Every structure is written in C-alpha cells, then in structure tokens.
Structure 1
C-alpha cells in the first residue's frame, strides 16, 4: 500500500504522468470541464471533498513550479487565495481572468472536480521537476 496520503487511483496516475510544465486543474463543483479533457470527479456532496483538502492532498505528491488563479478569486473569495498562498508560500502566482482559466482547462492534463461550493475556488497547478 502507498505511503503517501493520496488514495484516488485516477488522480495518483495523472500526477505520476505529469511532465515539466503540464497543468493540473483543481476546481469547484461548478467549473465547466471541456468534454475532451480528462475529468477526475471527486465530488460527493456540497463541500465534500473541499477544495482546500484536495489541494493539500495533491501537494503531497506534486511538485508545483507556478500557480494560475483567476483575478476574480481575490475579489469574490479572498479566503481561497489566502489559503493557496499559505499552502504554496514559495511558489509564483499568476493572475488571469476566469475566462482564461476556463480556456486553460482544455489544455490541462486533467481537471479535478471537488464538492466545493465557494465561488472561484479553482486553481491551475503547473508541474515542476523534482531535480
């Protein structure tokens, strides 16, 4: 059995397959996911699992070199942005529009859907390298 906390097989496989610069999106329950993009649906019910719990668990296995967030997150849900910065204190953040974030979903390796009901609780994690 694995030693790390991530138990979801599909999510673990995607993280293991990421190369430098690949994008993994973690989104709230309402984020539209393009049909051609791999969807890893973790949502069970309202706020389960939470966005924060999902990000925290992914970070146990994924090296992140850059974070993309929607500008609207700081305006509408500043607590989401504050928590992301707390979890990734030494990682550069780039703000883009929510429309651009949704467009990036089509180029991501996968989009992880959480049960989060907080508006704009979405993030794009750009894979770094471990060496």
Structure 2
C-alpha cells in the first residue's frame, strides 16, 4: 500500500506519464471536457473534493514551471483566485480569456475534474523539468 500522497490510481498514472511542457488541467465541476481528453473525475458531490485540496496535492507531486488561468477568475471569483495564488508562490502565471482557456485545455494530457462549484477556478499546469 502507498504510504501517502495521492492515492487515486488513475491520477497517479497521469502524473507518472507527464513530461516537460506537458499540461494538465485541474477544473471545477462545470468545465466541459472533450471526449478526446483523458479525464480523471474526482468529483463526488458539490464541493468535494475542492479545487484547493486537489491543486495542493498535485503541486506536491508535479514540477510546474508555469500556470495558465482565465482572466475572468480575478473578477468573478476573487477569493478563490487569491487562494490559488497563495498555493502557487512565485510560479509564472499567464492569464487568458476563458474561451481560450477551454480551447487550450483540449490539448492537455489530462483534465482532472473536482467537485468545485466556484466559477472560473480552473488552472492549467505546464510541467517543468526536475533536473
């Protein structure tokens, strides 16, 4: 049995497959996920698991060199936006319109769906290199 960290088998498989410059999306329950994308559906009920909880766990496992977020997050969900920024520390952040975020997410290695109901709380992580 694994000692700790992320226990979800599917999510562990996705994380282990990531390479430099691959992207993964951690999204709220409402983001449309194209059938072509790998989907890791963690949503259980509204709010469970939450965006922050999942983001924190993934950040502990993945080298991230850049984060992409919807421009709208700053105005529509400022509290969530601030919580996300606290977790990200000094990582580079690129803001794009939500429509562009959805288009870019189609090219992600996987989309991880949470039970989050806060609008525009989605984040795209651009993987870095550990060496």
TM range (shorter): over 0.9
What TM-score results when the alignment is normalised by the length of structure 2? 0.97
| 1:12 shift after superposition | 0.9
Aligned length: 131
Aligned to 1:92: 92
| 1:2 shift after superposition | 2.6
> Deviation digits for residues 32-78 of structure 1, max 9, x if unmatched?
00110011100000000000000011111011000000000001001
Aligned to 2:67: 67
Unaligned runs of 5+ in 2: none
Q: 1:46–1:38: structure 2 CA closer, same or farther, 3 Å change rule? A: same
Aligned to 1:26: 26
Unaligned runs of 5+ in 1: none
State the 4+ residue runs in structure 1 displaced beyond 4 angstroms: none
Find the residue that maps to 2:10 and give its secondary structure. Answer: helix
| 1:90 shift after superposition | 1.6
Structure 2 CA distance for aligned equivalents of residues 124 and 112 of structure 1: 10
RMSD after superposition: 0.9
> Which aligned pairs between 1:1-131 and structure 2 lie closer than 5 A?
1-131=1-131
